[in-house]
Structure 1
Amino acid sequence: MADVTMTTAMEPDGAPRLAGLDILRGVAILGILFMNINDMGGSLWASFDDPRHLGWSQADQVAWWLRDVLASGTARCLLEMLFGVGMVILTDRAANALRASADEADSPGGMLRFLFGDWAVMRGYYARNLVLWLFGLIHLFILLWPGDILHTYGIAALIALLFRRLGPKTLLGLGMLMALAQLFGAGFNLHQAQTRLAQVEQLQGRIAHKQKLTKDEAKQVAKTVERKKERAKDKAETAKRVAREDKARGSDTATFATWADSAWTSTLFIWGVNDGIGDGMMLEPLFIWEAFSSMLIGAALFKWGVIQGRRSRAFYRNTMVVAYAIGLSGRAYIAFVVMRFDDYPYLIYAVGEVARLATTLGHISAVYLLLGTAWGVKLLKPFEAAGRTALTIYIAQTIICLWVLYPPWALGLYGQQGWMALMLTAVAVNAVLLVWANWYVRHYAIAPVEWAWRSLIARRLLPIGKRSKAGDNREAGVIPAA
């Protein structure tokens, strides 16, 4: 499948970009809006609690189910994997440049560059991701998007870099071990919860028949009652957050000040700060764990030639069948039990991360199967431009939704769309951005946010326009998934 892996776009050093990776990145960055738009156009906290808050007509149920089974988390997972790919490409290229420089110089200075080159490579990559982390903070606190991934990826990439020299088997093993830790950890907790519920039901049956319990059995019943009270308290607190968010973002009294305060409060609560209703959630370490593990898996897939389309058509066909069989079946069953809304600790919830990884691998395989056909290339070719402008598109999605469509000072559509309308809005926004991306790359070398990022890293203003046919895109660079 090598005929679809190259494109005429160039790196600053003249190296060709990989078209397959750009297409995957374009699909992922546009796909992520389907995950974000419900939290932009409706209550973020309702997503943590009950999807029916955003609308639950028959059409809404279909839209939610398709989103949850086919897409939920997979765009983020693919971006994380591509970040791992970018780490390998960029650091290998920098290391090769330093090695070539050392080979050309027989002087002690040349040898020192060779000996300390790895530190130079790491320092450059650290600087790159620290700037990205700062962009993430701007996205969080100025553009007001609590769901930002840039700051998380910037931190996770700094950790992943330490593992870049490992072989693909070790990288995949470490990444899967972290994913399985979530499987077994969640599975153990869910199994324990199921066991406690079954035991207490039996004990309560004995109480109903006026049978005396032992002291330990009475304590067990009391603990279960206390846990139910805690869960009820958590649900009540979430309901308060939803109501407060709806008032701050979508009521007649909503203003820029209340909109901004709601976003900042949500961000800090996710980071573990009390929001006036309850203690913070401290989710950031879990987000970093997830991103780091997926980056390692992405780096392994790149070293094996999988994620850039260098394996056989039979390989991608077989991989897609197996990956979808595991991922989609697990996710379909999870969606089924979620729609019961009975608050039972189903054991299937534990497979969520493994199913997410499998479904993402199925999506990657499906893309390369499509790229093995003429009509597939025609269908997916426009997404290459989206991949080359991914960071700008990601920020543009936020600006369009949080500053034009939904805020009270603009169109004020917050809370007025159900799941189907939200998904259709995401389609419309992405269609506009896809058309813009294809127009932009025909006229300019590097997208605006990418230009700002790379100019800060280079500590000089990079040219943004195309200078000549031979020099097209010399400043574009590989943009790891934003």
Structure 2
Amino acid sequence: MTETRTYPIERIGGTDRIASLDVLRGVAILFILFMNIPWMGYYAPTIGDPRLVSWTGFDRMAFGWMIGLWGTQRGLLEILFGVGIMIMARRAMTADAPVAIADLHYRRNWLLIVFGLFNALVLLWGGDILLPYGMTALMLFQFRLLKVPTKLLLALLFLLGAMGSGVNSYVQRAEARDAAAEVAAAKAAHRPVAKELAEAAAPWDKAVKNAVPFAQNPEKQKAVEKVHATRMGPFGAYALGAWGDWAEMYQAPGFFATLAEIAGTMLLGMALFELGILQGRARRSAYVALLLVGYGIGIPMRIWGYQEILLFSPEPKIWWFSQDISRIAMTLGHIGLIQLLLLNGPGRALLWPFQAAGRMPLTTYLFPSFLTMWLLFPGFGLGLHGRWGFGGLMTCAAIIIAGEVVATNLWMRWYETGPMEWLWKGLAYGRRMPFRRRPAEVSLPTDAVPAE
């Protein structure tokens, strides 16, 4: 009789979890609030000027902190989404694996799309990432069987495609600047200006006006007043404004660049998982190399970008496309640093509190949407929109993050998973999932080696 091969599709239990992945996920899901809060309590969706409310030394430091982290937490999450594809497909790595495994993958990610719609349309967070992540993960399942070099090559191609948007913005601004110079030269020589040349120079003229400081910029003042009135107005106007911010994310061609960036970073995560790097299986020298090369490339590029932004000039900025390179470099540097810390006792003690958030990332991610978009910043809540500069915003984010670290660790003492994760997994597997913590399961002690 031929032996029948079985492919269980059971959920990952507490004893099967990879602790280093939970720590990475916890750091990413918590620290992403530093990136999001300017869009929640400031004017970032409409006016990209960090000086509007205040511009003290503390604000400049806080803005630099945000630029330093810009996109890297999203990068970590995208890498970990790629890892999630490989983990969930661990029983589907052969040609004769059952279709039930693919069904589970697709159910999980369709449900993430639903949670993303809930985050955007009900919790009113216009910067939701769950929907585009779920969409991209649906497309990447078939790439699980590709060899690591092929995954890395595809990741590179996707990421280069994503950079195209920034390169195009740079080229267009440079062309508009050159056209404006020709217009000025023609006017100085009392020559007629061709209609096509004037149209080509118009974007530069608009950029120059936008660079004028807020106090001398009537158009920017009107835009700020409009945003503030929407955020502080009645619920209907507030919701329409939030939905409008969300819809802006899905405008072509920017959205296609976003999907390419997500796909490339997820594929990178799939490859790094197969290489054992994200599970803590690589040699210490590999993590040292990631840290030195990643930060060695990323930090100078971030400093350059920060200085470009602080010029508040209409000139085209290398930052517009270099941020994509530095995002990947900085993300890899974060991975190297975290894994090196996990290789020693003090480092594990420092990072251990983030593990709980990494085990309930959906709840941890959605809660700040409710807290900020329903309670802290809207006019029908505490009405704090537009009250703080970047120093206050980053401080607020740090307080929320600290509160979530405490709350998630307390929660995970008594429960096996977060409430939103429990709902998500139950719907994905089609049955009631364990909720309260099993007595035999314990948290990772501070001197434990991350599980493989």
TM-score normalised by the chain length of structure 1: 0.82
Q: Is contact 2:179-2:200 (8 Å) kept?
A: no
Q: Deviations over 1:435-480 (max 9, x none)?
A: 111111111111100001111112222231124416999xxxxxxx
How far residue 310 of structure 1 moved from its aligned partner, in angstroms, is 1.4
How far residue 67 of structure 1 moved from its aligned partner, in angstroms, is 1.2
| Counterpart secondary structure, 1:175 | helix
Q: Is contact 1:246-1:415 (8 Å) kept?
A: yes
How far residue 261 of structure 1 moved from its aligned partner, in angstroms, is 2.1
User: Are 1:403 and 2:398 an aligned pair?
Assistant: no
Q: Is contact 1:168-1:300 (8 Å) kept?
A: yes
Q: Which of 120, 129, 134 in structure 1 is aligned with 2:114?
A: 134
User: Are 1:53 and 2:36 an aligned pair?
Assistant: no
> Cα–Cα, structure 1 residues 21 and 421, in superposed 2: closer, same or farther, change >3 Å?
same
User: 1:267 corresponds to which letter in structure 2?
Assistant: W
User: Aligned residue for 2:440?
Assistant: 469
**Which segment drifts farther, 260-269 or 376-385?**
260-269
User: Are 1:244 and 2:242 an aligned pair?
Assistant: no
User: Aligned residue for 1:66?
Assistant: 65
Q: Deviations over 1:402-460 (max 9, x none)?
A: 22222222322111111111111111111111011111111111110000111111222
Q: Which of 379, 386, 393 in structure 1 is aligned with 2:364?
A: 393
Q: Deviations over 1:378-425 (max 9, x none)?
A: 100111111001111111111222222222223221111111111111
Q: Is contact 2:109-2:137 (8 Å) kept?
A: yes
Taking the aligned partners of 1:348 and 1:423, their CA distance within structure 2 comes to 22
Taking the aligned partners of 1:445 and 1:320, their CA distance within structure 2 comes to 33
**Which segment drifts farther, 193-202 or 321-330?**
193-202
Taking the aligned partners of 1:393 and 1:175, their CA distance within structure 2 comes to 28
User: Aligned residue for 1:445?
Assistant: 416
> Cα–Cα, structure 1 residues 199 and 256, in superposed 2: closer, same or farther, change >3 Å?
closer
Name the % identity: 34
Q: Which of 227, 237, 257 in structure 2 is aligned with 1:258?
A: 237
User: 1:19 corresponds to which letter in structure 2?
Assistant: A
Q: Deviations over 1:222-255 (max 9, x none)?
A: 23333335657999988655432210213xxx22
| Counterpart secondary structure, 2:92 | helix
Q: Which of 190, 203, 209 in structure 2 is aligned with 1:227?
A: 203
Aligned residues: 429
Q: Deviations over 1:344-386 (max 9, x none)?
A: 1123422111110000100110111111222111100111111
Q: Deviations over 1:95-152 (max 9, x none)?
A: 37xx8xxxxxxxxxxxxxx74x353322220111001100110111011111111111
Alpha-carbon RMSD across the aligned residues, in angstroms, is 2.8
Q: Is contact 1:328-1:355 (8 Å) kept?
A: yes
Taking the aligned partners of 1:328 and 1:316, their CA distance within structure 2 comes to 17
Return 5+ residue gaps in structure 2 as ranges.
1-9, 212-217, 445-452
Q: Is contact 1:330-1:352 (8 Å) kept?
A: yes
Q: Is contact 2:416-2:436 (8 Å) kept?
A: yes
How far residue 75 of structure 1 moved from its aligned partner, in angstroms, is 0.5
**Which segment drifts farther, 335-344 or 405-414?**
405-414
User: Aligned residue for 1:95?
Assistant: 92
> Cα–Cα, structure 1 residues 72 and 470, in superposed 2: closer, same or farther, change >3 Å?
closer
> Cα–Cα, structure 1 residues 380 and 282, in superposed 2: closer, same or farther, change >3 Å?
same
Taking the aligned partners of 1:14 and 1:426, their CA distance within structure 2 comes to 30
Map 1:99-248 → 2, pairs under 5 A: 115=96, 117=97, 119-183=99-163, 186-187=166-167, 190-191=170-171, 193-194=173-174, 197-198=177-178, 201=181, 204-205=184-185, 207-209=187-189, 218=194, 221-228=197-204, 241-248=223-230
Q: Is contact 1:11-1:17 (8 Å) kept?
A: no
Q: Is contact 2:161-2:260 (8 Å) kept?
A: no
How far residue 20 of structure 1 moved from its aligned partner, in angstroms, is 0.5
Return 5+ residue gaps in structure 1 as ranges.
1-9, 100-113, 273-280, 474-482
| Counterpart secondary structure, 2:45 | helix
